[in-house]
Structure 1
């Protein structure tokens, strides 16, 4: 049986109705074509199962000298959550010594993130990718494995290969244990989306009273008001990040209640703002810059390796006790 004819740039140009030069610009991520034309060309390339020629790769160099990070977050949230600015700064630091660039893309859904990974791979724009916010049943892992695109998961659990993991079970046990040590038995957890792995692990430690949100301060404030207006209200509330905790603190104060006299508040993420508000907020403090830096270096090693590397423990969060937690009222 004759071997199947290899799809070429000329074939893609004919099907897409453009010039071979336009196809070359689109597949290599270069300017020179409109976004509409670029997307049409990439769609044809995917449908025709186009793969770059190994000969051509050897002529132009096999490496893109860049890694990718697709963030499923609204653009505005990056300016309010210190976690992302510290993480991205750390990633840049981990790549700077070897002059590798960071390709950052904001997406609005899991499907869009998967599509971005496929586009990066088809156009040879990145040599590997960092994936954050691991899911309980994460389709990105199999998809990236199928693409054979080197990947490092950031924040996944201990059992995941090629990950810089954080033990969210231990982290949750520390923070919830701190509150139980004060005598709190009615603890509510204002969490992010239920599909996130870290949310699932933290919720499993608490064992009840979990309210899922979209991470926004608006949602955190609304949930806080609802909790404190309910019969048998919680004596302590824990938030997934510092921005949510500050929004919760404001909601409590607007209701004329005191922290920690009427309700204790705490956060799984820490930042400068958590220590500046009054009362200052008890939080789990970790070096997010180091988390980003080490994840970038692990990805660089994974790119050079022919086998999947073992996961590594990231910087462990530590409890920072501040003014927002105390004994519940009798």
Structure 2
């Protein structure tokens, strides 16, 4: 062992606490006050302390890693601003606690299931974060069968015993988005939705249709996509070529909304005077394009931070309940305006 390498005893001395409390703080265990945890993490950073993962794994019979398996086309992942922000939030929890993220992006559900089985059999991870919940999601039962702890993003609609969930209510924000467009005089309003088999995409579509039902003068149209920018562009072209094209479009993510702005402009339409466009997620790039994107804001980094924290608490033996994040909210910028023909 390198004698110059700082130890937990050194961290305890600098932080002015016991070695036991340092161990609890660095492993994300309960029983450490926020002030003590902050002081301990600062001392570890000052000393350049890093954990010996091999020694910790042998002594604690843990891998000190969590898994994230995403079954999507890699090109769709590249388009979507949600996952980089989400992973940033996850790492914000894992890195200070000496934990690692094992990320796998697979093209289909068959390889996804095989990946979960491999992670469990090889004891590569102590638990997983389950994203993109599906209708009657078979992964819930699978993870229970192979003994992998899990936390889900959103509540599954399956009858199987579900793990703890991190949830966010976006129903009111979507209703606010529809009301915003109706208040601007829009009646022909379309929704470019995600794949219906994904619980969160189906929920957003249902919220849109439910909100539209409150305004009998409004005429809803829905086009389903795979969440990619390319499919958002395809859906926009389809809507623009209809005999009665919409004057406003609500997209299920910002990437598709930004692609929609490009399609509209190439077709000679002005956004927003001739077509209002509204996104979902509040990605950073949407704030700086012209026109700046009106969107439904969610906290992707907060999703990741909370999901990782809940999972580590679960791995540490705590009994964990569902966690509700702050609800989504409508952010009005300059990509929405009065419907064509309405007074300015």
The residue aligned with 2:195 is 193
Q: How does 1:145-294 map to 2 (within 5 A)?
A: 145-156=144-155, 161-207=163-209, 208-294=220-306
Deviation at 1:161, TM superposition (A): 5.0
Aligned equivalents of 2:208, 2:140: Cα separation in 1: 28
Structure 1 spans left out of the alignment, 5+ residues: 1-57
List, as ranges, runs of 4+ consecutive aligned residues in structure 1 with deviation greater than 4 Å. 58-61, 157-161
Aligned partner of residue 268 in structure 1, secondary structure: strand
Does residue 94 of structure 1 match 2:105? no
Return the TM-score normalized by structure 2: 0.74
Per-residue CA deviation, residues 146-191 of structure 1 (Å, 9 max, x unaligned), is 2221101124479965011111323322322222222322211111
- 8 Å contact kept, 1:168–1:198: no
Aligned equivalents of 1:274, 1:155: Cα separation in 2: 25
Work out the number of aligned pairs and report it: 272
Deviation at 1:132, TM superposition (A): 0.8
Seen in structure 2, the aligned counterparts of structure 1 residues 59 and 275 have a Cα distance that, compared at 3 Å, is closer
Structure 2 spans left out of the alignment, 5+ residues: 1-56, 210-219
The residue aligned with 1:316 is 327
> Mean Cα displacement is larger for which, 125-134 or 60-69?
60-69
Aligned equivalents of 2:183, 2:197: Cα separation in 1: 30
- 8 Å contact kept, 2:151–2:307: yes
Return the TM-score normalized by structure 1: 0.77
- 8 Å contact kept, 2:65–2:102: yes
Does residue 122 of structure 1 match 2:134? no
Seen in structure 2, the aligned counterparts of structure 1 residues 97 and 62 have a Cα distance that, compared at 3 Å, is same
